[in-house]
Amino acid sequence: MNRFDRTTTRVEFSLHPTKSIQKSYVSLKLPSAVAALVVYVQGILAAMTGNPHFPATTPALSALAAALAALQQAEVAAQARTKGAVVVRNDRKGALVTLLQQLRAYVQSIADADVENGAAIIQSSGFPQRKVPVRKARILTAKPGAMSGSAEIFAPLAARRASYEWQYSSDGGKTWVEAAPSLQAKQIIVGLPVGSSVQFRYRGVLRTGPLDWSQPIALLVK
């Protein structure tokens, strides 16, 4: 890295490595047209009938099938422009949607009971899965500060309420110099040797005491 390269150095670390499992969510995404809704419900009935993940559904699949048949019958009458048929069709559609919402909650409860396999469970139900954006984990970063010989350090949050201690080393980590602590997960350190590679590390301090020091990251001081 030359002295004019101001690219931020990023190193990811974990003080307490754990396997993170993303929770899966059931979505309805109901079509508005009755014909499309019929196909949608038929797919769910086919997928959940005899499915070992769902031994006793709430509501019963038979109730869902009966509500679907009632809607189909009402839709035929509505298409024939039978007097009052549209109102009946809409009522039966609402009743079917209510059952679907209840069934969705049931499928979600099964998926929540087995988070690791939740996505596969939802997929097997015939319901669509709602995609949840995954936030990238914050990592310890350092970049040159506005003043010569300074650096801005940003750390992951240690806890909702925590303070932070900071250290830097200009001899490859052999010795560490204490920097001012902070109540936020960031700090500006000044008075660094310009043109040299400096390492930084931090640790969160909780009510129960300090955590371990993070893995250090290096930055060429400008």
Mean pLDDT of the chain: 89
Would the pLDDT of 2 be above 60? no
CATH number, domain of 166, equals 2.60.40.10
Of the candidate ranges 39-43, 129-133, 181-185, 193-197, the one whose mean pLDDT is the lowest: 129-133
Instruction: Indicate the helix (H) or strand (E) that contains 54.
Output: none
Instruction: Indicate the helix (H) or strand (E) that contains 42.
Output: helix 34-48
Coil, helix or strand at residue 99: helix
| Model pLDDT, residue 4 | 36
Residue 2 within a domain: no
Cβ(198)–Cβ(219) below 8 Å: yes
Would the pLDDT of 135 be above 90? no
Instruction: Indicate the helix (H) or strand (E) that contains 17.
Output: none
pLDDT-based confidence at residue 217 (cuts at 50, 70, 90): very high
Residues spanned by the domain of 151: 9-17+136-220
Would the pLDDT of 117 be above 70? yes
For the chain, what percent of residues have pLDDT higher than 90?
81
Q: Are residues 117 and 94 in the same domain?
A: yes
Q: Are residues 151 and 95 in the same domain?
A: no
Domain limit, last residue, from 130, 163, 193: 130
| Model pLDDT, residue 22 | 76
Strand partners, 25: 130
> 44 Cβ partners below 8 Å, 6+ apart?
64, 100, 103, 125, 126, 127
Instruction: Indicate the helix (H) or strand (E) that contains 37.
Output: helix 34-48
Coil, helix or strand at residue 116: helix
Of the candidate ranges 25-29, 94-98, 179-183, the one whose mean pLDDT is the lowest: 25-29
Residue 103 within a domain: yes
Q: Are residues 122 and 148 in the same domain?
A: no
Domain limit, last residue, from 130, 156, 178: 130
Cβ(118)–Cβ(23) below 8 Å: yes
Residue 1 within a domain: no
Q: Are residues 160 and 207 in the same domain?
A: yes
Residue 88 within a domain: yes
Question: Chain centroid to CA 3: how far?
Answer: 39
| Model pLDDT, residue 9 | 38
| Model pLDDT, residue 3 | 39
Total residues belonging to the chain = 222
Count of structural domains, the chain = 2
